[in-house]
Amino acid sequence: MSDNFNPCVSCGACCAHFRVSFYWAEADDAGGGVPADLTEPLNLLMRNMRGTNARTPRCVALQGEVGQCVSCGIYEQRPTPCREFAMSGENGVGNEACDRARAKYGLPPLFFSSNPPLTESYVSLGASPASDHVQSPDL
Ligand code: SF4
Ligand code: SF4
């Protein structure tokens, strides 16, 4: 499909399932790009996106409704785990964590090992072809 074919923009499950944690210096009060006021300390070395360390996680930067239409409010400033999290099927490789997050919201897995690789596999909320997304330790 065209630009409309990006499963992430109608998903967002990983932004509302995992704790999104990263090295503290990625925040903009320490020289990085992630808005510090959208983060909270996790430990001495790490921060996480606010909302993702909750019993029912949801990143404070996530806009829209999971499984319907979503976007990342800080797409250009999102932290490393968001940039590195691959949509299942991207480049022909499954991502169990993506499938698991989607399953939580009743969304089907995007990739089966018997499937041919997706030809237009790009990830990340609201982005053009790229390759990233969320993750970090599961709750
Ligand atoms: S990476 Fe997977 S879980 Fe995250 S938004 Fe994209 S399809 Fe959904
Ligand atoms: S991609 Fe954006 S909305 Fe999703 S977890 Fe990362 S910062 Fe939050």
* Ligand 2 binding pocket includes 101 (Cβ within 6 Å): no
**Cα-to-centroid distance, 111 and ligand 1 (Å):** 12
Cβ of 16 closer than 6 Å to ligand 2, yes or no, is no
pLDDT in tens, 39-64: 999 999 999 999 999 999 999 999 99
* Predicted local confidence at residue 39, as pLDDT: 98
Residue 3 has pLDDT above 70, yes or no: no
Residue 135 in tokens: 């993750």
Furthest C-alpha separation in the chain = 46
For residue 72 and ligand 2, the question of a CB distance below 6 A is answered with: yes
More confident residue, 113 or 44: 44
Of residues 33, 45, 46, the one with CA closest to residue 83: 33
What is the rounded distance in angstroms from the CA atom of residue 32 to the CA atom of residue 76? 12
Stated as kind and residue range, the H or E segment containing 135 is none
Distance between Cα 22 and ligand 2 center (Å) = 12
How far apart (Å, rounded) are the C-alpha atoms in residues 25 and 12?
A: 25
